[in-house]
Amino acid sequence: MAGRAVEGAAEEIAEGQDAVGILGRSRAVVEPELRAAVTSLPASMRRIARYHFGWEHPDGTPAAGNAGKAIRPALVLTAAAALGGPQARASAARAAAAVELVHNFTLLHDDVMDRDTTRRHRPTAWTVFGDADAILAGDALQALALGLLAGDPHPASRAAAARLAACVVELCAGQQADTALEARAPGEVTLAEVLAMAEAKTGALLGCACAIGALYAGAGEEEVEALDAFGRQAGLAFQLIDDVIGIWGDPARTGKPAGADLAARKKSLPVVAALTSGTPAATELAELYARPHQEGEEERAALAVERAGGRDWAQAQAADRMSRALHDLSRAIPDPRAADGLLALAEFVTRRTA
């Protein structure tokens, strides 16, 4: 196993170990699996799924396509390659597609629940096809994902399916916690609660993706758990940085206006850190959050979060989570050359600063 891992890593290095390259090569392997799975759907469900993935316009004509960066399937393939070499990577293509299907099922449903109208720079599926069709297409994608694994003869597919199903339950609990926390008064939300929510909502699937890659490489339980922990911590770091961008980010680069999260009164991680800081700026922020947003007030709110230490806290937390992630990574894959691809992906997802 170790020999094959090093060999696989060497090949990855020869091919270029930058994250953009890894993501591109991963999409080349996963997209055919994904398209084949979606093509197997009945026409009514296929139409909505193809629109959601950016492959088709609402009328069914082909679209240029922006199905997202597909980080999760890249984590599956890269984890498999790191622990089992190119053969393990190749064997995990269907499992990688299953993980991406689960991610997209949650996006379809989250957009309905959150009433989000834009996804990947296009109107969300529910705004085009209605709530019922978006819910049903999401249901069908979850079934497709777990069905893909049930039909995969690889010896790891059963354990992967059990893990992915458990992860779906955790994602649901995370989304439930998110909506429940948003409905509560700002002063009644603790930092521990939003961190737990972010781990369930974002960390769990990144961790599951890495763990499934390890399973397809035939890795032992300790390595599988260490890679799950790596993905979870990297996912939390990603969420912290994403929340920072949601307040101070550059709209030209992020596609959403700076301060949008503040205007929407979102209880993102830096905001809750600020609100629970016990500083005068926390009081000012709490007062702002207690009344509806007024045009042009974002800057004042952002300054209050910053003065209350929310920005510094989030950045320090992100760095701390990344260092925990690297520790978990080295537990699973002691050879730094073999771990290089996963490291590049973790750095890529957390380096999206404005």
Contact set with its own copies (CB under 8 A): 41-42, 44-45, 105, 109, 112-113, 131-133, 135-140, 142-144, 146-147, 149-151, 158-159, 161-162, 165-166, 168-170, 172-173, 175-177, 179-180
Q: Which of 102, 104, 133 is nearest to 125 (CA)?
A: 133
CB of 44 to its own copies, least distance (A): 5
Q: Nearer to its own copies by C-beta: 19 or 41?
A: 41
Contact 270, 244 (CB under 8 A): yes
Strands (E), the chain: 118-119, 122-123
Identify the DSSP state of 258: T
Whole-number Å distance between alpha carbons of 236 and 206: 9
Identify the DSSP state of 56: B
Q: Which of 72, 71, 70, 92 is nearest to 80 (CA)?
A: 92
Q: Nearer to its own copies by C-beta: 201 or 321?
A: 201
Q: Nearer to its own copies by C-beta: 50 or 109?
A: 109
Q: Nearer to its own copies by C-beta: 87 or 176?
A: 176
CB of 324 to its own copies, least distance (A): 23
CB of 341 to its own copies, least distance (A): 28
CB of 65 to its own copies, least distance (A): 23
CB of 167 to its own copies, least distance (A): 8
Q: Nearer to its own copies by C-beta: 139 or 297?
A: 139
Paired with 222 in beta bridges are none
Q: Nearer to its own copies by C-beta: 173 or 303?
A: 173
Q: What is the 3-state secondary structure (H, E, C) of 255-324?
A: CCCCCHHHHCCCCCHHHHHHHCCCCHHHHHHHHHHHCCCCCCCHHHHHHHHHHCCHHHHHHHHHHHHHHH
Q: Which of 168, 149, 170, 171 is nearest to 160 (CA)?
A: 149
CB of 148 to its own copies, least distance (A): 8
